Each structure stands twice: as C-alpha cells, then as structure tokens.
Amino acid sequence: MKDSSGPLGGVTVVEFAGIGPAPFAAMILAGLGAEVIRIDRPASNGSHAVTDLFTSDLMNRDRRSIALNLKSPAAVEVTKRLVVNADGIIEGFRPGVMERLGLGPDVLSEVNPKLTFVRMTGWGQTGPLAARAGHDLNFIAVTGLLNAIGTKESPVIPLNLVGDFGGGGTMAAIGMLAGILSARSTGKGSIIDAAIVDGVSLMGTMLHGLIASGLWSPQRHDNLLDGGAPFYAIYRCADGKDIALAALEPKFFAELCARLGVAGDQAFGNQYGRDTWPEMRRVLTEIFAQRKREYFERLFEGADACVMAVNNFAEAEMNPHLIERNVFEEVNGVTHPRPAPRFKDFNPTISPPPFPGEHRDEILEELGFSTHEISVLEDSGAFG
C-alpha cells in the first residue's frame, strides 16, 4: 500500500484501464501519495503483448493492478467492493460504457455516496460529438487552439501535450481533488465530466482575451507569442542545433542586444515596432547561423536575456539545473520524470509499472476475500 506520509496519503482512487489522459491523471495523483488501484483487462491466452505494453508505459507507474473481466457479474461485484471505501474513480471510456457494464455513476454512488466519479473523455458526456471516436489532434482542432499553433503555412502538431495531458489529464486530476474536498465537507460525492475540449478551451482563455482586445491576429506566426516576434522565436545555429529566444520585456531585450553586439543597429531600435521585425529577424538569423550553439550558450551564461538551448531529451537529462533539482530519476534503467509539484517534506519513491493483475491476491485479501472465495472467483471467469 501507499506511504501515507504524502499530501494525498489516505486517498484511494480506483482507475479503470485506458490510454492517454486518464492514466496521466492517475499518475499525477499517485505521485502525490494517493493509493491508486488500477483495474486492468486480463491478458488473453497468456500473451505477453499486453503486459509488455503496460510495463513499458511509464504513466502506469506508482499503482497496484488487479485484472478483471468486467463482463463477468462476479468481477462487477469485486469492483463494487473496491469502490466501497474509495474516494474516487477515474474512467476513460466512451459515454454509456460504464452504464452497460453495470458500473455507472448511479450504481456506484449507491455503493458509496461520497464517491467522486471522474469521467475522462475527449468530447464530453453530452453534445453532437459525444459518441464519436477521436484523438488528441481532433479535440484540439475543434477548439481553435490547433489553428493558432504553427507556421504561416500550416498548423503544427504539439504532440499530445495540449489535449490529452494539459486539457485532459491535468484537468481530470484537478477535478478529482475538488470532488474529494467537496465530499469531505458535504458528505456528498460528485460526477465530473472531464472533457478535453473543455480543458483545452479553458487553457486558451488568455488568447480569447487578446482577441477581444484586438491584440491577436488570426494569422499564425504574426503575434507576440506564436513566433511572429523575432525576439520570441527559435533560431538554427551553425551546427544544426536550435536556440530559443524569449526576450519579451525591454530589459531582457536590451541584454540580448548588448550580448550580441547589435544594440546600435537600427533594426533593433524599436523592439515592438512591427515594421522593423523582418530586418531584425534577418539579422538574428544570420548571427546564429554563423556559430555553433555552444558558443551562444557560453555567451548568455548568467545573463537575463531569456536565451536557452533547445535540448533534446538526452541533453535535458544532462542539464545542470535539472540535475540539481533531480527532475529525472532512473528506475530499472529507465528515465522517469519525477512527480510534480513538489512538497517540502515529501520525497516520493517511484515504483515501476506492474503487469496487469500483479497485485490481485493482496488487493482481494485487503477487501476481505478468503482463499476459497478467490478460487471461486477464478472459476467464475472474473479474472478472465
């Protein structure tokens, strides 16, 4: 069981196996000390394919696993026993799936009136698209946010960080915490519709404000924060490596100009004068193209010019600042990002992802099942 010393010590969450945002939300909660029990699908025919995939997905770390065949009535009853003393559940199925399994919020809230029931989907539980298939790219496309990210010629895929993990999993974790707090003060649980389209739209609040103020152009790569400004952009150095400039404020821009030796250049005389931006970009492009990135890293070391190397993952692991802060940790030869945010008196230990069903017997014993009852459940097909 989880160390109860963490900020979420004593919190128990039941997670229904899925991919993407729901496991990410569960990982966040587990990393902060919550006991997360994941209900996995049983591996079929002894195949290692499912277990190998599970244990290679780092987002499945820090929890225990029980594999249940949820089409079995006996497995449904086991699930209800799990939920009796849980604070919350996370599920990422399409709308209606939990109801068809006999595990919808109406049923489980009868089992545990204080339960926080987080429903993690892309489109949400309602609306014309609710039953449609989709992935991260579809969800951020419909919100308008994808259209704002990229070059003049085309939007650029921001991995699945904006949708699945930002608007999805992170918001689901916040919803879980809010629901648990509410249940502890009111005695009543919550049903939370955690839709990626909602979370992504919320993340775009600042942009909607800029649009309303006439400060945001609908043309990509034409604004202060989308690469349109030459002092908030990425440049290629002579060795093919990239460097990021983010000298938004005048004092940082002045330091940038001083270090590069362009303070007297007419193109840099009016930072926010858009008519100077093309020439400013041309000069900066030429400067960075003449030397290796390492030169500029040394040039800007200790400077408040907001200039930083664009690291790849291997370089990030070697960055002195990230090393000092122990941002990464090696577990069984695999690099894991450490849990966040940090608490002063809590230093969590990362446990690698288990294989589906690894903790079945110990979980069932904690629920009060005898050896004989577990054997009966096996014969019933509850475990697949």
Task: Give the residue extent of every domain in the chain.
Answer: 12-203+330-380, 232-236+242-309
Give the mean model confidence (pLDDT) for residues 117-123: 98
Q: Assign 43 a pLDDT band (cuts: 50, 70, 90).
A: confident
pLDDT for position 55: 56
CA distances from 154 to 140, 220, 229 (A): 15, 8, 18
Q: How far apart are CA 32 and CA 173, in angstroms?
A: 11
Scored b (16 or more CB within 10 A) or e, 304-338 reads ebbbebeeeeeeeeeeeebeeeeebeeeeeeebee
Q: Assign 1 a pLDDT band (cuts: 50, 70, 90).
A: low
- pLDDT exceeds cutoff 80 at 4: no
How big is the CA angle at 170 (ends 169 and 175), to the nearest 5 degrees? 95
Bridge-based pairing state of the strands 116-121 and 190-195: parallel
CA distances from 42 to 75, 92, 144 (A): 11, 17, 39
Give the mean model confidence (pLDDT) for residues 298-315: 97
Q: How far apart are CA 184 and CA 174, in angstroms?
A: 16
Q: How far apart are CA 60 and CA 53, in angstroms?
A: 10
- pLDDT exceeds cutoff 70 at 68: yes
pLDDT for position 101: 97
Bridge-based pairing state of the strands 190-195 and 328-331: unpaired
Q: Which of 82, 87, 60 is nearest to 365 (CA)?
A: 82
Cis peptide before 341 (omega within 30 of 0): yes
pLDDT for position 2: 65
Whether 359 is catalytic is no
Whether 239 is catalytic is no
Which DSSP symbol is given to 350? P
Class of domain 12-203+330-380: alpha beta
Bridge-based pairing state of the strands 12-16 and 88-91: parallel
The more confidently predicted of residues 49 and 231 is 231
CB 269 within 8 Å of CB 254: no
- pLDDT exceeds cutoff 60 at 47: no
pLDDT for position 5: 78
CB 158 within 8 Å of CB 149: yes
The tokens describing 28, both together, are 């966040």
- pLDDT exceeds cutoff 70 at 242: yes
CB 187 within 8 Å of CB 180: no
Give the mean model confidence (pLDDT) for residues 95-102: 97
pLDDT for position 280: 98
Query: What would the pLDDT profile of 316-370 be if each residue is shown by its tens digit?
Result: 999 999 999 999 999 999 999 999 999 999 999 999 999 999 999 999 999 999 9
Q: Environment class of residue 363 by beta-carbon count within 10 Å: exposed (0-12), middle (13-18) or buried (19+)?
A: buried
CB 103 within 8 Å of CB 70: yes
Cα Rg for the chain, rounded, in angstroms?
25
Q: Assign 256 a pLDDT band (cuts: 50, 70, 90).
A: very high
Q: Assign 131 a pLDDT band (cuts: 50, 70, 90).
A: very high
Q: Is 232-236+242-309 in CATH node 3.40.50.1980?
A: no
Query: What would the pLDDT profile of 144-175 be if each residue is shown by its tens digit?
Result: 999 999 999 999 999 999 999 999 999 999 99
Q: How far apart are CA 354 and CA 56, in angstroms?
A: 10
Q: How far apart are CA 12 and CA 33, in angstroms?
A: 9
pLDDT for position 67: 97
Distance of CA 196 to the CA centre of its chain: 11
The more confidently predicted of residues 183 and 43 is 183
Q: How far apart are CA 39 and CA 241, in angstroms?
A: 44
Q: Name 185's Cβ contacts closer than 8 Å, sequence gap at least 6.
A: none
Looking at 62, 87, 164, 198, which residue is catalytic?
164
DSSP, collapsed to helix, strand or coil, labels residue 319 as: coil
Q: How far apart are CA 268 and CA 346, in angstroms?
A: 48
Beta strand residue intervals within the chain, DSSP E: 12-16, 35-40, 64-67, 88-91, 116-121, 190-195, 232-236, 242-246, 307-309, 328-331, 334-337
